Each structure stands twice: as C-alpha cells, then as structure tokens.
Amino acid sequence: YRYAMRVVDINNPQRSLILIKPTRPTDAGGDVSDYYATHNGGQRWKGNESSWQYKTVLEWIRGARLDTAQQQRASGGGR
C-alpha cells in the first residue's frame, strides 16, 4: 500500500505516475523535466488514455480513499 501511494495521486489521478509511465515512450526527447515520466520498458498501453488498462487503473485510483483505510485499521478490519 505504501509503495502504491508513491506512484498514485489521489487528488489528481491523471497525474499519477502509475498512469503516466506506461503511456509514455522510452525517450524523454531531451526535456529533462519529462524524465520522471519515462522508463526503459517503452510504451505499455497502446492508445494511452483510451486503453482499457488506463481506464481500469484510473477508476481504481478514483475509488481509493485514505480515510477508509485508516478507519478499517482503527476498527481492526482490513489487513
């Protein structure tokens, strides 16, 4: 969970690295500010935001709630 929160932006789901990296090509094209969003694996989700993979993960992020997870731990529920 903690690792996922490093790559998920609950306040702005579309800016989550978990969504950005698979939709970007390998090379940042020389713009240093784009390197955080690239990776050596190449573009994984063809169709970018229109791919089913992107849409599935985006809906998962939109459903994530920190307060719910904290409430479950406080009540002894969850993992």
Which pLDDT value is given to residue 13? 92
Tokens 């002894």 -> residue: 76
Among the listed residues 49, 46, 47, the one whose alpha carbon sits nearest the alpha carbon of residue 14: 49
Query: What does the pLDDT look like over 2-22, one tens digit per residue?
Result: 887 888 888 999 989 888 888
C-alpha to C-alpha distance for 46 and 43, rounded to whole angstroms:
7
Which pLDDT value is given to residue 26? 61
Which pLDDT value is given to residue 4? 78
C-alpha distances (whole Å) from 24 to each of 10, 13, 27, 64 are 20, 16, 8, 24
Residues of the chain with pLDDT below 70 are 25-43, 64-79
Q: Can you give the pTM of this predicted structure? A: 0.59
Which pLDDT value is given to residue 67? 60
